[in-house]
Amino acid sequence: MDSKFTGRVYVVRDNIDTDQIIPAQFLNLVPTIDEEYEKLGSYAMYGLPDSLYPVRFIADGAMDTEYSILLAGRNFGCGSSREHAPIALGAAQTQCVVAEGFARIFFRNCVATGEVYPVECLNRLCDIFSTGDIATVDIDQNTITHVASGKVYDLKPLGEVRPVVDAGGIFAYARQTGMIPKAV
């Protein structure tokens, strides 16, 4: 994954749980089956109530999102342990989720799968950015820039999970560090 990217932002609030990221009725899809992986992507964020989120993350009939950066408040990804959640986001071509806070299993699943970067921000960016704004995220410099205003906000370093993310997930990391044999 590139560590610096620019794209459109989609803004959500606190407590977006895994049912809103990928509703339970789509969990009959198995992420390791290619066409079902793609299908999961087309349902990313489908569970957001229309009354609160009239602009949809995935346009009707589209397979991918126009928003490569998802910006959230506290406790993003709470709820179930379903890996379908980061996978749906990744399959929809989301590159990273920037949130004030993540639920543990979601964060872990992002790292383990390498589907999307989970990055914590220090400010309440969901009050500052609006859906459709253009932003640049720089994982090495730990910043997010609001392109129109030029304002730069700090992100928390990925820290101890960075090596796992950089390796490309838990399997690649375990092979690199000798926990499991290199070739199978």
Cβ–Cβ < 8 Å for 110, 59: no
- In the complex, the smallest distance separating the C-beta of residue 103 from other proteins, rounded to whole angstroms, is 6
Q: How many residues bind other proteins (CB under 8 A)?
A: 47
Position 101 contacts other proteins (CB under 8 A): yes
Binding segment for other proteins among 54-62, 104-112, 121-129, 135-143 (CB under 8 A)? 104-112
CA distance 169 to 150: 33
The DSSP string of 105-170 is HHHHHHHHHTSSEEEEBSS-GGGT--TT-EEEEETTTTEEEETTTTEEEEB---GGGHHHHHHTSH
Closer by beta carbon to other proteins, 128 or else 170: 170
Q: 120 pairs with which residues across the strands?
A: 99
99 binds other proteins (CB under 8 A): no
- Kindly state whether residue 60 participates in binding other proteins, applying the rule CB under 8 A: no
148 sits near other proteins (criterion: CB under 8 A):
no
Output DSSP code: residue 71: E
Q: CB within 8 A of 167, min separation 6: which ones?
A: 173, 176
55: left (phi over 0), alpha (psi -120 to 50) or beta: beta
Q: What is the x/- site pattern for other proteins, positions 154-183, by CB under 8 A?
A: ------x--------xxx-xx----xx---
- Taking the C-alpha atoms of residue 38 and residue 144, their distance in angstroms, rounded to an integer, is 28
CB of 111 to other proteins, least distance (A): 9
Closest separation between CB of residue 167 and other proteins, Å? 12
Would you tell me which residues interact with other proteins (CB under 8 A)? 15, 17, 19-20, 23-25, 27-33, 47-51, 74-75, 78-84, 86, 101-105, 108-109, 112-113, 160, 169-171, 173-174, 179-180, 184
